[in-house]
Amino acid sequence: MRRRAATLLCALAFAAGGAQAQVVRSAEHAFHVVTVAEGLDHPWAVAFLPDGRMLVTERAGRMRLIRDGKVEPAPLGGLPPVTPHGQGGLMDVALRPAFRKNGLVYWSFAARGADGVGTEVARGRLAGNRFENVEVIFRQSPKGTSGRHFGSRLVFDRAGYLYVTLGDRGEMERAQRPDDHAGSVIRLHDDGSVPKDNPFAARPGWKPEKFTLGNRNIQGAALHPATGMLWTHEHGPQGGDEVNVIRAGVNYGWPVITYGVNYGTGTRIGEGTHKAGMAQPLHKWVPSIAPSGMAFYTGDRFARWRNDLFVGALRDAMLVRLRLEGERVVREERLLQGTLGRIRDVRSAPDGYLYLLTDAANGVLARLEPAQ
């Protein structure tokens, strides 16, 4: 009842007037939703530059620069060709941790190769309104013809390793194949080379970049602010969305085990929900919420949210807050349901606010601000 009441309060607040003026009351904080920029074409991710400007990717293949709440009219130049294909296109964007020194930006995108379309990662130095010295540092192999499940989030850990999340490309059996990048978390050095201590690097027949296997389609990833561990969420099929902590060499089960079922028929997938040697999720959603975007809140604007995990949801157009105790989810709160739009990305920003991107032809970059 408490969750339904919070959702109703959100809906009433937004229905009564403009989103920027109305107060939304959650269990811990009251806040406003402020539009920072709009007119974005299916934006996918946002990154924050040290000088206050923002980078936003658009799925069609454009990287936009936002300055003082205005979207620069010309997209940034220098990107390699992007192949918009189904769910794929230009996806995540991340700054190298030493960005202030080297100006390096990394992005994931769908690209065409001899065997179809797959996720790739490039990096380049931001110089004015374009990228220079651009190089592709990772290419998914094999690629594929499906338009589904490209992933793809990019996260640097505290040691400087780059993690890349890859979906199963809509061919579920690929997530269990050792010689296939699909359905995995990839771990690289920042130049794209393979760390010698990757769990499968020395195994014949395995892709050395693989850090995990058995992942369906991870579209949310973030480092835990206390432990530095990589947390992710992934889409299930009909039901079975998951939150996981990523550990070297772990098999997360897809499609052998899942809490979801086949679309349409509702029939079982794989062998059930448990199997020895395969990880159980920390948290799951049945029915699915279609999670995308994820951030631990680390700012000081919302003191009682600190270290909570926030997840965007496409299906019910909402923001989900998870309260944690160690690696347990002890409370879930659903906010903004059906009011802002399909939330594609969630970021805790250097200015202490929480930012959201909506997946729409007229997408919005919004900011949550405390209500006085």
Query: How much is the pLDDT for 372?
Result: 78
pLDDT digits (tens, 9 = 90+) for 320-353: 999 999 999 999 999 999 999 999 999 999 999 9
pLDDT digits (tens, 9 = 90+) for 151-178: 999 999 999 999 999 999 999 999 999 9
pLDDT digits (tens, 9 = 90+) for 94-130: 999 999 999 999 999 999 999 999 999 999 999 999 9
pTM beyond 0.85: the answer is: yes
Residues known to be catalytic: 149
pLDDT digits (tens, 9 = 90+) for 257-313: 999 999 989 999 999 999 999 999 999 999 999 999 999 999 999 999 999 999 999
Q: Domain map of the chain by residue range?
A: 35-370
- The arithmetic mean of pLDDT across residues 207-229, rounded, is 98
- The arithmetic mean of pLDDT across residues 213-239, rounded, is 97
Q: Other C-beta atoms within 10 Å of 224: how many?
A: 15
Query: How much is the pLDDT for 299?
Result: 97
Closest CA to 320 of 356, 349, 365, 352: 356
Query: How much is the pLDDT for 22?
Result: 84
Query: How much is the pLDDT for 8?
Result: 38
User: Given pLDDT bands bounded at 50, 70 and 90, which one contains residue 21?
Assistant: low
Query: How much is the pLDDT for 10?
Result: 43
Residue 5 confidence (pLDDT) above 80: no
Residue 64 confidence (pLDDT) above 80: yes
Q: Which CATH number fits domain 35-370: 3.55.40.20, 2.120.10.30, 3.40.50.720, 2.60.40.10?
A: 2.120.10.30
Residue 1 confidence (pLDDT) above 80: no
User: Given pLDDT bands bounded at 50, 70 and 90, which one contains residue 15?
Assistant: very low
Q: Could you tell me the maximum CA-CA distance found in the chain, to the nearest angstrom?
A: 62
Residue 53 confidence (pLDDT) above 90: yes
Residue 2 confidence (pLDDT) above 90: no
Residue 13 confidence (pLDDT) above 70: no
The structure tokens listed for 30 are 């009251």
Query: How much is the pLDDT for 19?
Result: 40
pLDDT, averaged across the chain? 94
Query: How much is the pLDDT for 123?
Result: 98
Residue 71 confidence (pLDDT) above 90: yes
Q: Is 26 exposed, middle or buried (0-12, 13-18, 19+ CB in 10 A)?
A: buried
